[in-house]
Amino acid sequence: MKVENKLAKGTVSSGSSEIQMLESLNVQTRLPKAPRIRSCRWIAPYEGFIKMNTDGSYRKEINRAGIRVVFRDHNGSVKGGLNKAVRPSNSFMAECQAAVEGLPLAVQQGWTKI
């Protein structure tokens, strides 16, 4: 159990006796590399414009999809948005649907500089 906890926490070093023991039992000890995390940040639109950020997601294992739309001004203030479940299809279609449903909301609000 101690070895399991150390592996889960990533505290076992490659030359440790725990690793040697696991390898002697033909247990796979090399874990795949963790994905790189990229830094990102929101960039404000020019003054007088509204920025529309969209997202769509699909979870195949539970057959559910959802979309989100957020409108912000040049100060970063949220001006409106949308969050709802949609008919499942795939991630790409959910992303597209978020944009398609977001644009009419902008028009309804009178925002023409998106």
Range of the domain at 63: 51-108
CATH code at 86?
3.30.420.10
Number of H helices, E strands in the chain: 3, 3
- 43 inside domain: no
How many Cα neighbours within 13 Å face the side chain of 31?
12
- Residues 69, 91, single domain; the answer is yes
Q: Which residues are registered as beta bridge partners of 86? A: 65
Residue 113 lies in a domain: no
Q: What is the pLDDT of residue 6?
A: 52
Tens-binned pLDDT, residue by residue, of the chain (114 aa): 455 555 555 555 666 777 777 778 877 777 678 888 888 889 999 999 999 999 999 999 999 999 999 999 999 999 999 999 999 889 999 999 999 999 999 999 999 999
As for how many domains the chain has, the answer is: 2
What is the pLDDT at residue 64?
94
List the one residue out of 55, 51, 99 whose CA is nearest residue 75: 51
pTM above 0.95, yes or no: no
- The answer as to whether 114 is a domain residue is no
